[in-house]
Amino acid sequence: MPPLPQHSPDWQALPRRAAAIAAVAGAITGTVLIGGGLGTAWVLLDLPLRWLGVAGMLVLGAAIGAAIGYRRQRRTFWRLDAQGLGVRRDLMWQQETRVPISRVQHLDLRRGPIERGARLATLVVHTAGSRFSAVSLSGLDGEDAERLRDTLAHQLDRDDDAL
């Protein structure tokens, strides 16, 4: 696997344990979508070694899904500065999202059973705009997520007091 891109020191990577969970989820999705589709095509095209070929396609789908899930999580970075929260995702195309403090409406922390077991959390930053305006950052270390939530909430309260 190629090394992670060099970012300025203020960009934070997500923990490796989040990438492992993303790899498992990607493997399941890849098995169903990619492997299932290729396996079905194998059967419909009546290719030789029918069931061995289907099993191979399922394994191939799982491997592709796991690689994509792992890589996506390892190439997601975040940073918090005086202007707000930044999230950078870099799988094939780089996507950077900035949420200015002035646009933050409220904050949620979500922890499913798997995330709780791995001491991870998902931070959801709801922004001004439509009801679907939110930035979600999953795979954060639980302590980092709480610190981010508290810092953003404190900055938001401080900005509200200035009005």
What is the domain range of residue 49?
12-74
Given 26, 45, 74, which residue is the final one in a domain?
74
User: Is residue 57 assigned to a domain?
Assistant: yes
Q: With the C-alpha atoms ordered 139, 16, 25, 1, is the resulting torsion angle positive or negative?
A: positive
Closest CA to 99 of 146, 148, 143, 141: 148
Q: Are residues 61 and 119 in the same domain?
A: no
Q: What is the pLDDT of residues 88-97, one digit of tens each?
A: 998 888 999 9
| Residue 118 and residue 18 in contact, taking contact as beta carbons nearer than 8 Å | yes
- Banded model confidence at residue 2, pLDDT cuts 50, 70, 90: very low
Q: Are residues 36 and 66 in the same domain?
A: yes
Give the residue with greater pLDDT, 129 vs 73.
73
- Banded model confidence at residue 159, pLDDT cuts 50, 70, 90: low
Q: Tell me, what's the pLDDT at 82?
A: 83
Q: Tell me, what's the pLDDT at 161?
A: 52
Q: With the C-alpha atoms ordered 41, 45, 49, 50, is the resulting torsion angle positive or negative?
A: positive
Q: Say whether pLDDT at 163 is over 60.
A: no
Q: Tell me, what's the pLDDT at 54?
A: 95
Calculate Rg over the CA atoms of the chain.
20
Q: Tell me, what's the pLDDT at 33?
A: 96
Closest CA to 142 of 113, 106, 109: 109
Q: Are residues 47 and 106 in the same domain?
A: no
Q: What is the pLDDT of residues 29-84, one digit of tens each?
A: 999 999 999 999 999 999 999 999 999 999 999 999 999 999 999 999 999 988 88
Q: What is the pTM of this model?
A: 0.80
Q: Are residues 80 and 51 in the same domain?
A: no
Number of domains composing the chain: 2
- Report the CATH number at residue 115: 2.30.29.30
